[in-house]
Structure 1
Amino acid sequence: MVPPRTAAVRLLRPLERQVRERYEEIERLRETFESLLPAYESGRARRSDAEPIELLTDLGTVQETIEELTMGAREEVLTAQPGGARSARALQEADERDRRMLARGVRMRTLYQHPARYDQPTVDHVRRVMDLGAEVRTRTDGVCRLLVFDHRVALLGLRDDPEAALLVHEPHVVHYIRVFFDCLWRDSSPFPVRFDSAAAVRISGEIQESIVAMLSEGLEDKSIARRLGMSVRSCQRHASEIMKAVGAKSRFQAGYALGRLHAAAQDRE
């Protein structure tokens, strides 16, 4: 009779060897593909001279482009993700991609909107990348979907087509996109990976201030929710609280009252 531990060693050792060999093969293939990137990027750069801005209309092409640009990044990647919670698939793809990039010493800064703070899978992803050196912040609005790689190329999401994007190589346009990102970054708050009651109260106040401003402009719930990266139901809840606070019985009345309050505050200033 053979002891269970001995039997386990005899049975598992060949499997462990196969797994180790497969992993080593994967790493060799990855190094091979990465060694081809300089030649690929050189050819892509030559092609981009004639196409400073390229429209990518297929989601598969957009994802492949992001993967290629991430693998080729050597200095810095800037990312802005509008909306709140990200899908499980998007987070899974980002986990491996960001881990490899950060392991190479690439600096990474990411912007989310405030509602992302309240989605646990997104919080878990942010905690993992921050542990690897990434910087993450959130803000109320003004966030457009974009990525910038090494000061040289940018990818911009399209508002009316979530599966398409603009690939930008033109240096001056890329520069202005980076300036826009830096302006948003400076006015944003660090992403808390642990609950902070004081920060939660402050962020809730910022969200309500933005809703107040948009209500005074006459925007509808759907438009406000889209700009703030939250659900329409959450937006309606905030709007109801604001209407109650100003004693309004309708959105029109609330918008009028808030507009007068805003004008009076400007006059005082």
Structure 2
Amino acid sequence: MYRDALTHGAVSGEIPACLLDLRLLRRRDDRTEVFTPVPPGLASHRLAHPVEQAIRDGRQRLGVLRDAFATVQGLWDEGLRESLAPVRRLEGREVIVAAVRQKGAECHTEFRYAQPQAPRPPELLRRNLPRVLGLLARGVRVRALYQHSVRAHGPVVDFMAEVHAHGGEFRTLDELFDRVFLYDRSFALIPDHSAEQGDGALAIEHPGVVGFVADVFDHAWQRAEPVDFRTPHGRPAPLTDEKRLTVLRLMVEGHTDTAIAARLGMSTRTVANHVRRAAETFGSRSRAQLAYLLARSGELE
């Protein structure tokens, strides 16, 4: 129909509604049913103009809204920064140690800490012992989580026995979430793994975050195995079976001896010995076969 209008200059009769809606045809005058073609550019301009105007108006309203909320957003950001202020980054060993000593002196009810992976050096344990005993002497409850591997580490066992004799409590797990120091329920110190040199920590005083960390500790405490010093020599019995099963579970999952040792806080040689004894027991000739036989035996369930 539009082509006919272009060819003959006009058309009449039944006109498709789309040509009228798009304004591609218009009446020659009000008294006739003759329609003449309209250039597409002109027709589209007439239709697009109000849409473009609405877009401009919308953009203007959007700008007004953004300007109106800019000041309020500034107040919100300021309040958010203040609410996060209780989470501070501590950098450097001296700064971290100073914070630990300060919070230890301020602690009133309970000191909880988790110490995963490798046992602490003997000299560090000797330096920390008076401070921990000082907390107990002030009536502060002391609870500590270690990994099972420390049960065979003499300096750590001696440290635990001394603290236990003054009222400290110790439990061990095969794996721990991470290192944590908790003073009362008001301050937590956790590692900052984003630090390149590994000497960063986060000092947390936000009540919600500290409460969450405390709940994580308490949940692990409930699952942990108490360290019993009531043995003939006053030393805790090593959890050999549980450690062996944990090593074998990780081996079946595909971890290397080095990775297992780092994860469980024991030496690579100890891990290799656990795997070797299991291989001898099951008569396996390779690590893959051992994993298969262990999975079939159901011993790790």
TM-score interval (norm. to shorter) = 0.7 to 0.9
TM-score for the superposition, normalised by structure 2: 0.65
- The amino acid across from 1:91 in the alignment is L
- The amino acid across from 1:54 in the alignment is R
Aligned to 1:181: 217
2:283 corresponds, among 244, 247, 252, to 247
Deviation at 1:181, TM superposition (A): 0.9
C-alpha distance in 2 between matches for 1:260 and 1:96: 51
- SS class of match (1:85): coil
Aligned to 1:126: 160
Deviation at 1:240, TM superposition (A): 1.0
Q: 2:258 aligned with 1:222, yes or no?
A: yes
C-alpha distance in 2 between matches for 1:67 and 1:91: 15
Say which structure is richer in helix: 1
C-alpha distance in 2 between matches for 1:135 and 1:162: 29
- SS class of match (2:210): helix
C-alpha distance in 2 between matches for 1:138 and 1:97: 22
Q: Is the 8 A contact 1:84 1:114 kept in 2?
A: no
- The amino acid across from 2:242 in the alignment is E
Q: 2:269 aligned with 1:233, yes or no?
A: yes
Deviation at 1:260, TM superposition (A): 4.2
RMSD: 2.5
- The amino acid across from 2:209 in the alignment is V
Report the count of equivalent residues.
217
Aligned to 1:157: 191
Aligned to 1:107: 141
Aligned to 2:106: 72
**In the TM superposition, what whole-angstrom CA distance separates every residue of 1:42-73 from its partner, at most 9, and x where no partner exists?**
xxxxx984423222231111111111111110
* Structure 2: 5+ residue stretches without partners: 1-80
CA distance 1:164–1:246, shift in 2 (3 Å): farther
Q: Give the ranges of 4+ consecutive aligned residues of structure 1 lying more than 3 Å apart after TM superposition.
A: 47-50, 158-162, 192-197, 259-262
- SS class of match (1:258): helix
Q: 2:244 aligned with 1:208, yes or no?
A: yes
| Larger RCO (alpha carbons 8 Å, 6+ apart) | 1
**In the TM superposition, what whole-angstrom CA distance separates every residue of 1:130-166 from its partner, at most 9, and x where no partner exists?**
1221111112113421111110111113568653222
- SS class of match (2:201): strand
C-alpha distance in 1 between matches for 2:295 and 2:186: 43
CA distance 1:162–1:87, shift in 2 (3 Å): farther
Percent identity of the aligned residues? 30
